[in-house]
Amino acid sequence: MTEPDAAIATSGLSKRFGSRTVVDGLDLHVPRGAVFGFLGPNGSGKTTTIRMLLGLVRASAGDIRLLGERMPDSGARVLPRVGALVEGPAFAPYLSGTANLVRRDTADRYAPPSTRRARVAAALDRVGLSHAAGRNVRTYSLGMKQRLGIAGALLTDRDLLVLDEPTNGLDPQGTREVRSLIRSLADGGATVFVSSHLLAEIEQICTHAAIMRTGRLVAQGSLDDLRQAGGPRVRVETPDAAAAIGVFARLGVAAAVADDGAVDGPLPDPAPAPEDVVAALVEADVRVRGFAVHASTLEERFVALTGEGFDVEQ
C-alpha cells in the first residue's frame, strides 16, 4: 500500500534512551478505516511508540506519518484531527465530569465555543455518563474515569482515535459499551488504533493488528492473515489426555498441550489426514468425544511470537 492509504505509517522508527533501545526499526502500517489492535507484553515498546506517534516523545530515528502528514513537523495541522487517550485519563477531581470536559475543550483552540456545551453533553451521552455529568470526578469509579477520558477524545469529530487500554477498569457491561462505541466510530469512517493486552477484546473489535516484542515488530496484518500465519491446529476432546499427547507426538504434532478436557497442538507440514489422526487415536484406545482441525487463534499466534501468556500487563 502507498502512504495515502495509511492512517498511520512509520519507517525505521526507533527510540533510544541512552544505550537502551526501546523501539527498534518499526515499520508500521495502519490502513485508513481499520480498527487496529496494537499488542505486546510489558516492555515491548507499545506506549513509547504511541507517544512518538503523537509527538509527545521525539524519535531517535525514522519517519512517522499520521493521516498522510509527516510528524512531528505537521503536528499543529494533524493533531486536531486526532483524538487520544494515553496512559489513563487525568482530571481535576473536585470538578464535575461536565466541567472537566469543558476545560479540556476550552484548551483546544480549534474547537468552536458556540457549540461547546452541546458537544460536551453529546460526548458524555455517547459513553454513558450523562447520569453522572454533574458529579465530582473524585466520586467516579476507575471505569467511569476511563469512559470520561474516551469522551474527552470525542469532543470533536476525529479522523483517527488512539486509545491506550480503553477498557481498563471497566466491568463487563462497560467493556461491551466501549466495544460497541469503537465499532460505531469505525463505522462512521474513523480509524481506531487500540493498544491493549487483552487479546480476547482485540479479536472481538479489531480488523487488523500488530504484535510487538522487545521493541521490534514481529507481525502485522489483518486478523485473518495473522491467524493463518500460525498454521492449522488439531484438537481432540478426550479424558485420556496423556495417551492423546503420545499419539500426537508419534504423528509429528509437536508441543501438544492438555487443557480442560482436550488436547490441542499445531499440525506439521505436511500434515496427516484428519481421518488418519482419528484412526490412530482410536487404535491407541483414546476415547474421542470431539475432534476438529482449526485455524490458530490470535492468542496462540501471540504466544508463539512473544513467548508470553494471554493477559500480559502493559
Taking the domains of the chain in order of start, what are their residue ranges? Answer: 3-222, 230-306
**Is the pLDDT at 306 greater than 70, yes or no?**
no
Residue 308 has pLDDT above 60, yes or no: no
pLDDT value of residue 17: 93
Phi, psi dihedral angles at 300 (to 5 degrees): -65, -40
- Model confidence pLDDT, tens digit, residues 55-90: 999 999 999 999 999 999 999 899 999 999 887 778
Site of grid cell 512517522: 64
Residue 79, classed as helix, strand or coil, is helix
SS3 133: coil
87: alpha, beta or left? (left if phi > 0; alpha if psi -120 to 50):
left
Peptide bond into 232 cis (omega under 30): no
CATH class given for the domain over 230-306:
alpha beta
Mean pLDDT across 215-236: 83
Q: What is the pLDDT of residues 113-172, one digit of tens each?
A: 999 999 999 999 988 899 999 999 999 988 888 889 989 988 988 899 999 888 877 778
Peptide bond into 31 cis (omega under 30): no
Q: 2 pLDDT exceeds 60?
A: no
As a whole number of angstroms, the distance between CA 211 and CA 216 comes to 9
Q: What is the mean pLDDT of residues 39-46?
A: 84
Q: How confident is the model at residue 226 (pLDDT cuts 50, 70, 90)?
A: confident
Is residue 110 pLDDT above 50, yes or no? yes
Please give the pLDDT value at position 175.
Answer: 80
DSSP of 204-234, one letter per residue? HH-SEEEEEETTEEEEEEEHHHHHHHT-EEE
DSSP assignments along 163-204, one per residue: EESTTTT--HHHHHHHHHHHHHHHHTT-EEEEEESBHHHHHH
- Predicted pLDDT of residue 127: 87
Comparison of pLDDT for 153 and 231, the residue scoring more: 153
Between 109 and 251, the higher pLDDT residue:
251
Look at residue 309 and tell me whether its pLDDT is greater than 60.
no
CATH class of the domain defined by 3-222: alpha beta
pLDDT in tens, 168-201: 777 787 788 788 888 888 888 899 999 987 777 7
| pLDDT score for 304 | 65
Nearest Cα residue to 135 out of 98, 170, 90: 98
Q: Look at phi and psi of residue 88 and say left if phi exceeds 0, alpha if psi is from -120 to 50, else beta.
A: left
Task: Supply the pTM of this predicted model.
Answer: 0.76
CA distances from 172 to 175, 179, 267 (A): 5, 10, 35
* Average pLDDT along the chain: 87
Contact 313, 244 (CB under 8 A): no
> Can you state the percent helix, strand and coil of the chain, rounding each to 5?
40, 30, 35
